[in-house]
Chains A and B, each alone.
Chain A
Amino acid sequence: MESASSKSVTNQPTPDKASNGTVSNSPLRPYTSSSGFTYPAIWSFPPFFTLQPNPQTFAHQLTLWTRLILSWAKYHRVFRIDAGAADGGDCREVLENKSIGRRLLPTSIRQLVSSMEKEGLLSPDPPRQPNTFLIYWRKPEEWGSMIYDWVIENGMGGSIMTFYEITDGDMAHTTEFHQLPPVLLRRSLETLVKRGKAQIVKGEAEGVKFF
């Protein structure tokens, strides 16, 4: 009987493939901000700022948000997000779309943050508290190998460098890890120590010796 068949079936509409940041047949357009970052079209879609009750939609919405925050933070070199603040702290720009008057509400921000933490893309700093997080748009391992490569390339292997020299030294201006937060730097170097490629030296100013 036809009557019994239709209820249990949940068929999601097939998503339209679109590569240029827009959705087909939609009047929504990507938005490029004054800083040069291009927000995707979905950022101008009001329901995007309401976490959806439909579980499938919700999961997809979270991955979109995660992706958006990481790329936005990377573009703007933002390392922290504050779930305790109503507007998300350093990330307030991406969490609110003033042109359509929508923002991710604090409860939604918490949901998003906890989901990102589960994926290892955020790490609480200081540890074991639910509010302020480091954003790992690059993982500490990546930062560590990047620093190590840079040190070896510049012939400083075997010598001792201070933390300040790595992130703010004369040679660091051109690197990606310029002005990396010290906490993140320490976590990155600790991954190198684990791999046996560096040793942290304690002194007046903390230093690190690369092998």
Chain B
Amino acid sequence: MSVSFRSFVHPLEIPRQDATVQELLDVEAGEQWIYGQHGVGLYEGNSKLPNHQILSVQLTTHRILLLATSPPPPTASTSSNPSDPPALSSNLQVSLSDIRQTEYYMGFIRSSAKITLFLGENPDIWGDRDRGTNGNGANSGTSTNTHSNGTAAASKEDSTWTCNVCGYSNPTPTSLARSNTLAHQTPRCGLCGVVKDLVKAPSSSRPSTPTIGVTPSPTPKVITTPRSDSPRTTNHPENNVGGEGFEIPCPRCTFLNRPELKRCEVCSGILVPRGATTLVPDNKIDGIIRTDSPVPTLPLPAPIPQTTAKTGGHQNEMATLRISFRKGGEKEVYKRLRTVLSAKAWERVRTRGRGGGGQGGSAGDAGLGGGGEAAVRSGFGIDGILQNISLENKAQQGNVEDAFKDLEALMVRAGEMVKLVQTLNTKLTQQQANSSTGANGTGNGQAEDEATQTFLRSSLVQLGLPAPAITSDMVADERKYLEGLAKELGGLLTGKTGGREDDGLMVGKNGKGLVGMDEAWGIWNRARGVSLVSPSDFQKAIPLLATHTRPKVELMTFPSGLSVLHTPFYHPKIFSNRLASQLTPTDSDEVEKAMSTVEIALTEGLSVGLAKELVHLVESQFGQVVRDEQAQEQGGGERWYRNLINDTQMCDI
């Protein structure tokens, strides 16, 4: 069975003769122009459409527009006889949602490349074709019916014939094509080539045997609304509302339910009540054709339940429309067409439209419940999931933005804190200077004063650097920046900045002579407050550290790859010598001196891990100590001795 492509190809009204493609777009629905190509012609099936041979094809996110590039022939706009199919205007549009399938033909010798569009009714479970542009809540919330009319039924009559010889069900060219080009031709069977005349009696529209490839649909469309933006020339034969006894397909599981049920028997999903379509007021029922449509339309008779003449309405019936590319460009068009089809922009718009319509309907269309259910509907199914996901995403995005706002506020505050500390610090220094110049003061009070000041200052130092942290924008070139960094870090580590003598990180009472790079970096950044220094800058500043520190702080890398900063006290050579001398027995000792790694860590004031690394380093570098691994059996890990092995000569044995 074949459907006339005219069910899907609609004339396009053009506001002006020189209107641009952009002006034709339905901006409200979010339609966007994608691509255009000149020099195309149209075929229906295999037959040329003579009035549509010099066209340009314009691809948008929602439609394919076929625009005449030459003035339309006079016949194109005059036909208005309702019994005949009206001639199509020279400007056509095809809704992408009607495209069920596409085919691409490369062209062969003189045959141009073609794109075949298989047009069929959108198998939409909602039967809702509202595109969301219909602002009228009551109208969009309430669906209207369309019924098959005589024309469609008539064209249906002879839409197929069954070959008497081979039984193949042949599609017949539709009335339009036949009237134009194929009227004189006798059709032949597409499979065996036998002329139709040989067929004794034309088969009815319902052959007794099932036809190949076509199965009658058990699910008639229940609700349809004509496209608000694309009024049709003919009524949809497929938009058929049956009478009593029609089952309602569940929108969730597609099970066909008895009409009296409110919820699906299988999945308990809310059914779209047929009442919503049948119980609407009369003025809605027969108002399916918008009277403001510029294209001649057929007035409908009163709704007649047609249970017998199911002439269409299922997705297997497809009309074919071919676009022949006489001037090339078909590849690009086809590629973009595929992209656009897979993007399904019209679906998104429709989803939005349904939600809005639902709310409008519940307000304006009381008592029928259709609108209210439309709102509920959005909560389940893939639609609902997608909606939930997008809502969640929105909420998360909001949270993230809030969080960053907080962070920015914190940074501003932190900057203020550091400033406050600095001002306090300078004040304290002044006060100290004043009190030291002011000669007299009761000893007790002064001592107390100093203690307070020391406490204050030490807590300030904990909060930040005594001077503002140096940043790359403070100095001109990188070299100076790094030197500044090294100076600053050196001050932090040795505690000697600006003439003050404090306990630094590595020097002084609580100073650790050996500090891991990570620790130094962390403490430094804590002191810098907000203007953090990057690890790479830190590493670049390290080599300059030795020239800016007294005592020198240098970098040392252990065999394990661990890098540490060390004071001269822990220089490997000095450490090795110190360890060797510690291990050298005095005259009073009866045995060789030995120390375990833990003992070395204790005497050197290092962590066991660092002590182990350091001893291993000097062992491999200088060989002044040797290890005894078998002491492990007595507990305590490796024990270290001075190197007597090297001191023993061959002649000693």
User: Footprint of B on A, CB under 8 Å?
Assistant: 1, 3, 6-7, 9-13, 15-28, 40-42, 45-50, 52-54, 56-57, 60-61, 63-64, 67-68, 71, 101-103, 105
A21's contact among B554, B628, B652, by CB below 8 Å, is which?
B652
- What are 20 A-to-B residue pairs whose CB atoms are below 8 Å? A3-B554, A6-B571, A10-B621, A10-B622, A13-B647, A17-B649, A18-B649, A21-B653, A22-B652, A23-B652, A28-B644, A46-B628, A46-B631, A47-B626, A47-B627, A47-B644, A54-B626, A57-B626, A64-B650, A105-B630
Q: Known: A6-B572, A28-B592, A50-B629. Is A45-B619 also a contact (CB below 8 A)?
A: no
Bound CA–CA A24/B647 (angstroms)? 9
Q: Is the CB of A53 within 8 A of B627?
A: yes
B645's contact among A22, A25, A61, by CB below 8 Å, is which?
A61
Q: How far is the CB of A129 from chain B (nearest CB, A)?
A: 28
CB neighbours of A64 from chain B (8 A): 645, 648, 650, 653
B contacts with A, residue count (CB < 8 A): 43
Question: Closest residue of chain A to B545, judged by CB?
Answer: A3
A47's contact among B585, B628, B633, by CB below 8 Å, is which?
B628
Question: Closest residue of chain A to B588, judged by CB?
Answer: A27
Complex interface bits, B547-581 against A, C-beta within 8 A gives 1, otherwise 0: 00000101010000000000000011100000010
Report if B620 contacts A (CB, 8 A). yes
Report if B643 contacts A (CB, 8 A). yes
Q: Is the CB of B554 within 8 A of A45?
A: no
Q: Known: A17-B649, A28-B644. Is A57-B623 also a contact (CB below 8 A)?
A: yes
Report if B584 contacts A (CB, 8 A). yes
Bound CA–CA A116/B572 (angstroms)? 34
Question: Closest residue of chain B to A49, judged by CB?
Answer: B630
Question: Closest residue of chain B to A13, judged by CB?
Answer: B624
Q: How far is the CB of A8 from chain B (nearest CB, A)?
A: 9
Report if B589 contacts A (CB, 8 A). yes
User: Footprint of A on B, CB under 8 Å?
Assistant: 546, 552, 554, 556, 571-573, 580, 584-585, 587, 589-592, 594, 619-624, 626-631, 633-634, 639, 641, 643-653
7 smallest CB-CB distances across A and B, nearest first, come from A47-B626, A46-B628, A54-B623, A42-B648, A47-B628, A50-B629, A15-B647
Q: Known: A40-B653, A47-B628. Is A27-B589 also a contact (CB below 8 A)?
A: yes
Q: Known: A25-B585, A28-B592, A48-B645. Is A41-B652 also a contact (CB below 8 A)?
A: yes
Q: Is the CB of A47 within 8 A of B554?
A: no
Q: Is the CB of A19 within 8 A of B627?
A: no
Interface centre among A24, A40, A41, A57 (most CB of B within 10 A): A57
CB neighbours of A40 from chain B (8 A): 648, 652-653
Q: How far is the CB of A115 from chain B (nearest CB, A)?
A: 15
